[in-house]
Amino acid sequence: MLGGIQQRLQTTYEMLAAQRRELGYPVYALEHGLSAAELGEIAEAASASIRYSAPSLSHWLVWTALGAEAGYRYSGDEYWPELERRRGEWRSNDYRQQLRSFYRRFAADFSGPQPRGRWAGHFNIIAWPISGAILPRYLQVHFARHLFDLRHALPHAVLEEGDGLGELLLRRYSGTTSRFRDFLQQTGLTTQIVLALRDEATRPLVARIEPSVLRRIVDDLERTREARTYLRDARHILETTKVKIAASLRSKSAPADPTGAVAAQSQRFRVVAKRLQDGTFGLGLAFPDFRRLGVGRDVVAGQRVQVVGDGDRWQPASFLLTFSGKDRGIDAFPAPNAALVAAEGDNVDLARLLAEVAKIEERPAWVLRRHLDGSYREVVGGFVRSDQEYLVLTRASPPASSLDRVGLKRANLNASGAEAFVLRTPARISDQTKAALKELRIGTKTDVSVRPLGIGPRPGNLPSWLATETVILATSADADIKTIVVSLDGADASFITCQDSQALIALEHLSVGRHSLALAPISATGSGWTTPSEQFEFDILAPTPWAESMQGKSGFRLIRTPPTADFESVVSGEASLVAFGPSGRQVHWSLVGYDAAGHPAWDHPLGTSRVGETGGNMPTMLRRACDNYSDEIDEAFQLDIVAKLDELGRQADRYPRAVEPLRWRYEAGAGTVRLVDETDHAETPVVRLYSLASPLDRKTIPLEQALTGVKPDGEGGLFSVRCGDTIQSIFASAPAGKKLRDLADLGVQQALSLPDHKGLAAIRLIDGMRRWGMAKPVGHLALVRRDLTIKRMRDALCGLCCGADFLKILASSRPTRFEQAQQKVGGSQGFGSRMRTTAWPPDFEDAINDFIGYAERYGIETDRQRARAALILAYRPLQLRFDETADKKAFLADLMGRRHLLRGAFLAHAVSRQPSIALKETA
Amino acid sequence: MRVIQPADIATITAASLGVRGGNVRDLLKPALRRASYLLAPCSASDLIRFVAEPLSPLGDLREETEAELQDLIAYGDIFEMRRIDGDPWDTPNVVLRPAPPAFVMRSKTQAFILGVGGDYPSPLPAELSASLDYAGPVRILDCPDDEDFAGHLREFGLTQLGEQAWLRIPPVTSAADHVADWRKRLNAAPSNTSAVPDLEVIDPTCPPSFYAGRWRAPRQAEAGLFVARRPQVFGGKLWCVVELDAGQPTRLLDLHPSDVFIRPCDQAWRLQAALDAVQETPQQVVITEDAASTHLSFGGPLPSFAERKLALVATKSRAPQCLFRFSSSTGSLQEEIAFLQSILWMQPIRDGGKR
């Protein structure tokens, strides 16, 4: 049977490949042409065929078709069960590399898709059949939503050659579903899908995707109302806008900044002003777009800058990116030729760039034009036009006679170092006024001017509209003219007849990007088109989905500090999550978990807090949730901490979890732990178990057992798998076997077996702490038990370094424990006293210099490296590094012998934790 | 590129704003929503100018724009609030911000659509946007065939607001207690010794049925508690409560937007309703019934919570001999009349003068 199917598939795929070859369209394994009933029978026969031997090369197309079908059904969690007819059939066999070779051959023979990006690298087997599935079901809603979000950008993107469309879809994805992001990296595939959707109604002679297969995908997609609406809207825009663009005069590509004015505007600091509520004018600086100047994260990393108005304060250079293209208030007008931003650090290029752009051009007067949004922005070149409002800044007050002749009215400036004057220019600027302005070194520009009508452009250095908006411009002149010559983006000029020296122009269906409108008047007395006297530059933007663009606009937002902190850090309180909004309002918090397909799977309320509460009870709320819903939290593919504030809406702080090809799954019902292995088996994964009763002792577990599921012995165990450089570990905690008698130990009896060699023993404890600290806690009391285990190792390390008697004193709750510990430090009374009485900071880096200094001064330790290592052992043992030490065992053994030094270090750390009991926390 | 005439501006702008037709007045709310998204946080004057100036070839629309903005604030499309931590340097103390897309169910198949869709005129997909009714002060979406209407709106990302959360109805109290409460707050304000230029007060002796005619300057011999407005250097007039003695303000309390979005004018109008009721000249709601509908007509503005409450069951429109009216074809509005009596101490008058 399989032989016949193989032949049929060969014919089908060959035919498709022949049809598409000239057009360069790929063939997909999902286009097999088999019915659902046939597929069932074939899968059964194929399954039987691999019971005792590997998939046969003579049935390779059968397997590519079956693999693609499994990829289409795939839910985003585990691929292999979808391919299996018998449980465990593919999970535990060793045929996956062969399956990949079938797909590679398919790609070579029929121009099949080849997976790309992170996905192809990480999931280098299953990426192949899933790519062959075109658009797996679980990604269909995401895909429809993404097309909908970008619907107005698509018609322009389809005009691009190559995979431009797919690249747009990837570039503009701001969501956090890692599987979907991986999928979008297949830009060739996504381009073909969108184009196939666009072409479906026109029934092209050669289809990009077999019509029956495309219909199957669309039908599946339209099963939910949400996705159906999204897809239909996106397709409608895609189909109708294509016709409009084809029918209208399509603009040529814009010349790259023909006048240089745009570059000048965006590439240096400019002065801005705003009239404040009390009638005075506030001054600010508009930062250039540093990204356009080539400043990226890599350039600013590790650099610091000092910004004018900030005094002596230095701040991370990433500040430049934060304020890129934005305005910032200043209290004083910058001194002549003053550096607005100074850089500290070793980046010569950054320093050179700042020296060039971070200054304002020194001139007799700065002219700021009022924009539609109420802001006044510096005019490059310092000139004025007719019928506009300006703010003129000078360092010294001009003569009163000049003020009168020009019509400058003094204004109150809310900043020192400059004088300010308001100027309203008339519809026609007289020669006398021009002359008076010239005395003040202010130029005048007459001729044609351009004014937006209908809807105002977006505020910024350059006016901008959306691709969905029609740009209406009024052109006028301050002389009598009967015709204006206009050219858009260098296209042939149009002659427009004016009425009262004015003309109105509508610009529709412009492509996304920069555009330039060149204008020149032809006066009433008659003259020809010479060179443009005015160049109006503007941007056309693609609309942004509202869920993205409205973030924080209502005045309610969440801020995570530091921004890169993970969920666990927020739970532990090391990182903070604070709601900003109207102070005192009540915020309702909840925790939302997502499934593998990126859909919300559950939503648990966390509690409430008030806006502006500092510190807050967020860690407490999260910790409670972690206790109550630990299994669900562990299983979630993404977690959102969601804040709701009535009419101010909902803000979500997202914590995506990247799915790894090798990962553990905890099956709460059975209490078992199972290994999901989607690696290519280039290396055999090694599985180890560390029981809770004996957390430093390892036991090897057979891979097959881990793949089918293992139950930890006793009250739990840590499972660790290693494959190449990848290590994944999980701590599964089982319900207590007996009634808890002592809350302190949670009924856990543990033995820490250590070698006699003290250096080795310390290394073993540190490795153990690291291993247990990395393990994901799941199951009953898992987090508490894991932390307890680490604490015991930490105590054991303290005992090893300082002796059991010293540990006993530090761990006691007696109010005199520090005094007692001081007596035990030894070596020097002064050293012990310093260790107890110094206000040791909680951060290691802040404590190290003082500690080394005291150790030297009191003759305890003159070797700085050793003193440093002692304090690291006490503060942050996991950060102990041995890069400069040849023999770490010997180094540690030697260090263990320096008891005064170590006791001092552990006492210093205990004091830094005051008033809590020392040693409570791990590294 | 094409040459257009001034008359084309409205139609072209309407298309950009997702509005059907080319009526200039219909453009203002969508344009204000767009502007609030682009400029936020911003002052009302900047927002009005941003909308009205590019439409100037169609006439001076500043007053109409301001009136439409007040509707958007009253119903919750745009928030009027105080500046918050982290706002830009040039943010004034009182700012406008766009509300995030949300909805309030009016019935099982009808909802108010609130908020601003960022770059898009509506946060809804085209199919639903096409069904939006823009006629009244707030957008209404009617989907009679959708059995899980609220669920679908939530799927599209809109936040569902509970009726009570949206209405923000203040607690019921007697008019005398309400006035006493304000008197207490005013007494806690520092005494005022300087003149307040261009102060204007609501005349308690003028009939409440003609709101615009009640505003005037304080009279020399006048004393007592008044709802007032006073000009400021920039921006609209400030609402305040003032105590006059011999026509001179002895205490003055400026009203500012609160963080729970109670507008100063809402506070002032409710206080005036209480003052009128205490003086035994309560504000009136005129009830008329015809074959098809029940109408409630008002001579003065209503606080936003009252407007919202009425909008849930009735439709607002302009009508002769009143400032506006709410009409319902489905009920007698008994509950709403009782609400106006209890919360604004209003007197219902049947058309023809019957109480």
In B, minimum Cα distance to A467 occurs at: B16
Within 13 Å, how many C-alpha atoms sit on residue B268's CB side?
22
What phi and psi, each to the nearest 5 degrees, are found at residue B210?
Answer: -125, 90
pLDDT band at A524 (very low <50, low <70, confident <90, very high): low
CA nearest neighbour of A914 among A797, A789, A819: A819
| Interchain pair B165, A229: CB under 8 A | no
Nearest to B89 among A329, A459, A505 (CB): A329
**C-alpha distance from residue A800 to each of A411, A875, A902 (Å):** 74, 15, 10
Ranked by mean pLDDT, which of A82-91, A217-226, A894-903 comes out on top? A894-903
pLDDT at residue B332, rounded to an integer: 78
pLDDT at residue A745, rounded to an integer: 55
pLDDT at residue A614, rounded to an integer: 63
Average pLDDT over residues A81-101: 86
**pTM (2 decimals)?**
0.79
pLDDT digits (tens, 9 = 90+) for A611-630: 877 656 888 899 888 878 87
pLDDT at residue A258, rounded to an integer: 43
Q: How much is the mean pLDDT over chain B?
A: 91
**Cα gap A154→B31, rounded to integer Å:** 25
pLDDT at residue B38, rounded to an integer: 96
Chain A: nearest CA to B265, how far in angstroms?
A: 20
| Interchain pair A647, B165: CB under 8 A | yes
Which residues of chain B are within 8 Å of residue A249 when distances are taken between CB atoms?
1
**Residue A863, pLDDT above cutoff 60:** yes
Cβ–Cβ contact A279 with B under 8 A: yes
pLDDT at residue A357, rounded to an integer: 86
**C-alpha distance from residue A759 to each of A762, A766, A895 (Å):** 5, 11, 8
pLDDT digits (tens, 9 = 90+) for B65-81: 999 999 999 999 999 98
**Cα gap A279→A368, rounded to integer Å:** 17
| Interchain pair B100, A649: CB under 8 A | yes
Chain A: nearest CA to B176, how far in angstroms?
A: 30
In A, minimum Cα distance to B159 occurs at: A649
Q: Of A64-78, A256-270, A288-302, A904-918, where does mean pLDDT reach its minimum?
A: A256-270
**Cα gap A25→A196, rounded to integer Å:** 11
Average pLDDT over residues A561-589: 86
pLDDT at residue A843, rounded to an integer: 83
| Interchain pair A372, B53: CB under 8 A | yes
**Residue A879, pLDDT above cutoff 60:** yes
Q: Of A378-387, A879-888, A907-916, B83-92, where does mean pLDDT reach its minimum?
A: A879-888
Q: How far from chain centre, in Å, is Cα A707?
A: 33
**Cα gap B270→B171, rounded to integer Å:** 12
pLDDT digits (tens, 9 = 90+) for B240-289: 999 999 999 999 999 988 777 789 999 999 999 999 999 999 999 999 98
Average pLDDT over residues A361-378: 91
Nearest to B54 among A455, A555, A648 (CB): A455
pLDDT at residue B84, rounded to an integer: 83
**Residue A852, pLDDT above cutoff 80:** yes
pLDDT band at A523 (very low <50, low <70, confident <90, very high): low
Residue B48 amino acid letter: I
CA nearest neighbour of A333 among A276, A422, A418: A418
Q: What ranges make up the beta strands (E) of A611-697?
A: 638-644, 650-656, 662-667, 672-677, 686-691
Please tell me whether the peptide bond between B264 and the residue prior to it is cis, using omega within 30 degrees of 0: no
pLDDT at residue A252, rounded to an integer: 42
Using DSSP's 3-state secondary structure scheme, residue A125 falls into coil
Average pLDDT over residues A680-702: 90
Cβ–Cβ contact A57 with B under 8 A: no
| Interchain pair A469, B16: CB under 8 A | yes
**Residue A637, pLDDT above cutoff 60:** yes
Q: Of A209-213, A294-298, A713-717, where does mean pLDDT reach its minimum?
A: A294-298
| Interchain pair B50, A374: CB under 8 A | yes
pLDDT digits (tens, 9 = 90+) for B103-142: 999 999 999 999 999 999 999 998 899 899 988 899 999 9
Tell the burial category of A639 from Cβ atoms under 10 Å away from its Cβ (0-12, 13-18, 19+).
buried
Contact A545, B124 (CB under 8 A): no
Which residues of chain B are within 8 Å of residue A472 when distances are taken between CB atoms?
4, 9, 12-13, 54
Helical residues (DSSP H) of A464-609, grouped into ranges: 546-549, 567-572
**Cα gap B317→B323, rounded to integer Å:** 9
Please indicate whether residue A919 or residue B323 has the higher confidence score (pLDDT): B323
Ranked by mean pLDDT, which of A57-61, A723-727, B232-236 comes out on top? A57-61
Chain A: nearest CA to B181, how far in angstroms?
A: 23
**Cα gap A746→A112, rounded to integer Å:** 57
Q: What is the ipTM of this complex?
A: 0.91
pLDDT digits (tens, 9 = 90+) for A252-267: 444 444 444 445 455 7
pLDDT band at A509 (very low <50, low <70, confident <90, very high): confident
pLDDT digits (tens, 9 = 90+) for A698-736: 999 998 889 888 988 888 899 999 988 889 999 998 876
Sign of the dihedral defined by the CA atoms of residues A285, A289, A294, A299, in that order: positive
CA nearest neighbour of A801 among A914, A912, A909, A911: A909
Average pLDDT over residues A104-132: 90
Contact A607, A589 (CB under 8 A): yes
pLDDT band at B93 (very low <50, low <70, confident <90, very high): confident
**Residue A668, pLDDT above cutoff 70:** yes
**Residue A919, pLDDT above cutoff 50:** no
pLDDT at residue A266, rounded to an integer: 57
**Cα gap A606→A472, rounded to integer Å:** 50
pLDDT at residue A883, rounded to an integer: 65
pLDDT digits (tens, 9 = 90+) for A534-543: 788 999 998 9
Q: What percent of chain A has pLDDT over 70?
A: 93
In B, minimum Cα distance to A544 occurs at: B119
In A, minimum Cα distance to B40 occurs at: A553
| Interchain pair A550, B98: CB under 8 A | yes
pLDDT at residue A527, rounded to an integer: 53
Average pLDDT over residues A45-53: 90
Q: Of A289-298, B58-67, B186-195, B282-291, where does mean pLDDT reach its minimum?
A: A289-298
pLDDT at residue A265, rounded to an integer: 52
Within 13 Å, how many C-alpha atoms sit on residue B320's CB side?
0
Please indicate whether residue A556 or residue B192 has the higher confidence score (pLDDT): A556
Across chain B, how many H-helices and E-strands are there?
A: 11, 18
Q: What percent of chain A has pLDDT over 90?
A: 41
pLDDT digits (tens, 9 = 90+) for A452-507: 999 999 988 789 999 899 999 998 877 777 888 888 988 888 888 888 888 999 99
In B, minimum Cα distance to A651 occurs at: B100
- Domain ranges for chain B, please list them: 6-94, 102-167, 175-277, 284-350
Contact A462, A380 (CB under 8 A): no
| Interchain pair A647, B166: CB under 8 A | yes
Which of A539, A550, A551 to mutate to probe the B interface, most B CBs <10 Å? A550
**Cα gap A664→A651, rounded to integer Å:** 31
What phi and psi, each to the nearest 5 degrees, are found at residue A559?
Answer: -125, 125
Nearest to B161 among A233, A373, A646 (CB): A646
pLDDT digits (tens, 9 = 90+) for A145-171: 999 999 888 888 887 777 889 999 999
Average pLDDT over residues A292-320: 81
Please tell me whether the peptide bond between A702 and the residue prior to it is cis, using omega within 30 degrees of 0: no
